[in-house]
Structure 1
Amino acid sequence: MIQLKGAVAPRRALAAGALLVASVFGATSAMAQGSPIRVGLMLPSTGTYAALGTAITNGFKLHVAEQGGKLAGRNVEYFTVDDESDPSKATENANKLVKRDKVDVLVGTVHSGVALAMAKVARENKTLLIVPNAGADELTGPLCAPTLFRTSFTNWQPAYAMGKVTAQKGHKKVVTLTWKYAAGLQAVEGFKEAFEQSGGKIVKEMTLPFPNVEFQPFLTEIAALKPDAVYVFFAGAGAAKFARDYHAAGLKNSIPLYASGFLTDGTLEAMGEAGKGLQTTLHYADGLDNKKDAAFRLSYAKTYKLQPDVYAVQGYDAAQLLRAGLAAANGDISQKDVIIKAMEAAKIDSPRGTFTLSKAHNPVQDIYLREAQGGQNKVIGTPLKALADPARGCKM
């Protein structure tokens, strides 16, 4: 009897211990499943790109709202930081979200220089990062990583398409002008690659510091050089001022102006007469013939009393991509490998048209030719379909 009791007692103790472990594990798992997904929005809310940051935020939150305020059954909690489009503050700001606020996923940003610093912080902390705008080629090139995804574009993509379009229009000599920062310089390189492949020549590459908007000296030089056309990369308030200055200088009717679509997205109202007829290339346009875009535009307008632009689309698709990953993991953010694989394989039903992701985690997407008509960037053609960035330097 003593031996029997001795044998039973350890078994009971083991069973009780196992039950306790299971209970604790179950409670922990339940808490993990019940706690909100912590999303860190690191976007500009002041300065030149403030309107862009607002549109991205609106788009992201709109998709979450359409899912009942949840992603894969999990509530979403937002943590925000104004990155001020300032690369010198980027590391500190990203660390606030990752280390102080313990976010599960970083979403940002607009400025390419800021995004490069964000990518470094995300990689060091193994934090999921979704880039809803910044087109820095490096992000899905040399800095590509399993945890880094982009729902927008590379600077190369729309610029390369415009290089093709400009050459097809018969222009042989072009002057380029941009802010001297990653986005502008890479856009010029993409344009130049396609334009020169088609036999064109860049007669002069001009730059000015970001966010300087004193364009007059450059306009005077453009008038003296008399190129066949001008290609520029500007966005936000600076883009609107450039278009107005170009028009006021009397150049619009004599030297055609072309650009990546950021010149006119969200800026046509501020441009007024100067914006009419401008042609740009981008992965989104007004007048696309697809049901998703019609539903998105209606929902966005009802919610925010505004018409959406490309930035809103990119934010919306960032939420769509995150939901695809979470759904595969049944909302369990800790299953990072499952989430990543699902995001890599996702086919996003976007307002821009359905797109997939390249091996470098960048959208493979159609690039549209748009013309500013009646305050909209109307689609007038699709010069390149399913354009994939070359992802030069990506070792993933």
Structure 2
Amino acid sequence: MFSTYIRRLSAQSTVAMACTFLASAASAQPSEPIKVGLMLPTSGTFAELGKKVANGFKLYVTENGGKLAGRTVQYVELDDESDPSKANENTNKLIKRDRVDVLVGTIHSGVAMTMARVARDTNTLMIVPNAGAAELTGSMCAPNVFRTSFSNWQPGYASGLLAARKRKTAVTISWKYAAGDESVRGFREGFEKGGGRVIKDLNLPFPNVEFQPLLTELATIKPEAAYVFVAGAGQVKFVRDYAAAGLKNSIPLYGAFITEGTLEAQGEAASGLQTALHYADGLKNAKNDAFIASHKKALNTVPDVFAVQGYDAAQLFAAGLNAVKGDTGKKAEMIKAMESAKLDSPRGPLSFSKSHNPIQDMYARVAIGKQNVMTDVIVKTLADPSLDCKL
């Protein structure tokens, strides 16, 4: 009788222990929302670009029921004001005050570089959805920092290859700052590889838009082509000034972002301009068809390259989360999964180099109406050399 009692007690204890174990296992599963720190401009020159990136990121999450790896997503949004002097304080707010699981930002390269320094020092996961500064995946590369956009070298290099198909001499025009210098270096390398020669580099301080003196000098030099790198409102004014100066038909203009998101404002002055980029309006592939339809349904607008870059930032983050079943504490495993991720992007196949920069196809495009229409692929799976990265 005593032995029977002992057996019953033992059985009850086993059940109790099993229940306790299951309860503990359940409580160990991540249940809190994933905090995504969106540090993007919501005011100033780049506000519209920041909005497009944020919308792209959120669209991917919405398509997945508002969750990533089974966990709800909470956004902590902060206007970076495109001001590098405020970047350190703002980044630390998101990391130390708000305790975000990932930083997503930003448009302005100067702000992004400060964000990356803080992220590296605090071992915070960071995804860059636009800024093209070479240092981010070059000398400043870090295991926890990824980019889903481009390095300034990539579209510059592709533009050089494109121009060299028909032109043998060129002059470059750019704002005198890091992004302009890096883009011009990329163009020069691609143009020279294609057999061309850059005669002269012309520039003016960022964000000066008094282009007329440079256009006058360009007309005097008379190269076979010109390459330009300016951004935002500068794109609109430059293209209009170029056409007004009578240069559009005599010196063909090439660029990367020069017509991106500004074709309507540029009007007829932009018609026929050739550009090179990692996305084109209406690019034909199954993923992009679905992406465009989803974006139209959710936001009633047609997406552009900035929305794609935000969308892929979410895709990349999800690849890491899925690998660890949502457990953000397993950061090393997350990073490993993100490094090996092969994303089905609206831009086409997307993977990542050793420096965590995108490996992607670059497209030749021509401005027709309100679209930058792809004409062909300039170079497939283009990777930035990232020679300064020591990962």
Paired letter, 2:191: F
Q: Residue deviations 1:333-390, cap 9 Å, x none? A: 1110111111111110100011111111111110000000121000001010011110
Counterpart mapping for 1:281-320 below 5 A: 281-320=276-315
Match of 1:150 among 139, 147, 152: 147
- Provide closer, same or farther for how the CA distance between residues 201 and 104 of structure 1 changes in structure 2, counting only shifts above 3 A: same
CA contact 1:286–1:378 (8 Å) conserved in 2? yes
CA contact 1:48–1:211 (8 Å) conserved in 2? no
Query: Tell me, what secondary structure is at the counterpart of 1:190?
Result: helix
Find the counterpart in structure 2 of residue 227 from structure 1: 223
Query: Tell me, what secondary structure is at the counterpart of 1:174?
Result: strand
CA contact 1:257–1:278 (8 Å) conserved in 2? yes
Find the counterpart in structure 2 of residue 373 from structure 1: 368
Residue 175 (1) aligns with residue 163 (2): no
Find the counterpart in structure 2 of residue 340 from structure 1: 335
Paired letter, 1:254: S
Find the counterpart in structure 1 of residue 62 from structure 2: 65
Residue 327 (1) aligns with residue 313 (2): no
CA contact 1:113–1:181 (8 Å) conserved in 2? no
Whole-angstrom CA distance in 1 between matches of 2:25 and 2:286: 43
Find the counterpart in structure 2 of residue 29 from structure 1: 28
Paired letter, 1:128: L
Whole-angstrom CA distance in 2 between matches of 1:28 and 1:130: 29
Counterpart mapping for 1:116-265 below 5 A: 116-169=113-166, 171-260=167-256, 262-265=257-260
Q: Residue deviations 1:283-340, cap 9 Å, x none? A: 0012322111001001111111111000000000000000010001101111101111
Whole-angstrom CA distance in 2 between matches of 1:289 and 1:51: 25
Whole-angstrom CA distance in 2 between matches of 1:216 and 1:89: 33
Paired letter, 2:28: S
Q: Residue deviations 1:173-211, cap 9 Å, x none? A: 211111122211100001111212333222221222222
Paired letter, 1:51: E
Query: Tell me, what secondary structure is at the counterpart of 2:198?
Result: strand
Query: Tell me, what secondary structure is at the counterpart of 2:344?
Result: coil
RMSD: 1.9
Whole-angstrom CA distance in 2 between matches of 1:142 and 1:159: 20
Query: Tell me, what secondary structure is at the counterpart of 1:265?
Result: coil
Q: Percent identity?
A: 62
Q: Residue deviations 1:111-168, cap 9 Å, x none? A: 1111111110100110000001111111111111110111111111111111111111
Paired letter, 1:49: F
CA contact 2:263–2:369 (8 Å) conserved in 1? no
Whole-angstrom CA distance in 2 between matches of 1:320 and 1:361: 15
Worse-matched range after superposition: 103-112 or 90-99: 90-99
Match of 1:360 among 355, 364, 370: 355
Q: Which runs of 5+ in 1 are unaligned?
A: 1-14
Quote the offset at 1:255 in angstroms.
Answer: 0.8
Query: Tell me, what secondary structure is at the counterpart of 2:280?
Result: coil
Whole-angstrom CA distance in 1 between matches of 2:78 and 2:180: 25
Whole-angstrom CA distance in 2 between matches of 1:26 and 1:378: 53
Worse-matched range after superposition: 201-210 or 144-153: 201-210
Query: Tell me, what secondary structure is at the counterpart of 2:354?
Result: coil
Find the counterpart in structure 1 of residue 270 from structure 2: 275
Worse-matched range after superposition: 306-315 or 221-230: 221-230
Query: Tell me, what secondary structure is at the counterpart of 2:207?
Result: coil
CA contact 1:49–1:237 (8 Å) conserved in 2? no
Quote the offset at 1:77 in angstroms.
Answer: 0.7
Whole-angstrom CA distance in 2 between matches of 1:333 and 1:115: 23
Whole-angstrom CA distance in 1 between matches of 2:56 and 2:320: 18
Quote the offset at 1:230 in angstroms.
Answer: 0.8
Whole-angstrom CA distance in 2 between matches of 1:293 and 1:241: 31
Match of 1:38 among 35, 39, 59: 35
Worse-matched range after superposition: 230-239 or 121-130: 230-239
Report the count of equivalent residues: 376
Quote the offset at 1:26 in angstroms.
Answer: 5.2
Find the counterpart in structure 2 of residue 6 from structure 1: none
Paired letter, 1:249: A
Whole-angstrom CA distance in 2 between matches of 1:92 and 1:67: 33
Paired letter, 1:331: G
Whole-angstrom CA distance in 1 between matches of 2:268 and 2:307: 25
Q: Which runs of 5+ in 2 are unaligned?
A: 1-13
CA contact 2:106–2:130 (8 Å) conserved in 1? yes
Quote the offset at 1:256 in angstroms.
Answer: 0.5
Whole-angstrom CA distance in 2 between matches of 1:365 and 1:394: 19
Quote the offset at 1:29 in angstroms.
Answer: 2.6
Find the counterpart in structure 2 of residue 8 from structure 1: none
Paired letter, 1:97: L
CA contact 1:358–1:364 (8 Å) conserved in 2? yes
Paired letter, 1:174: A
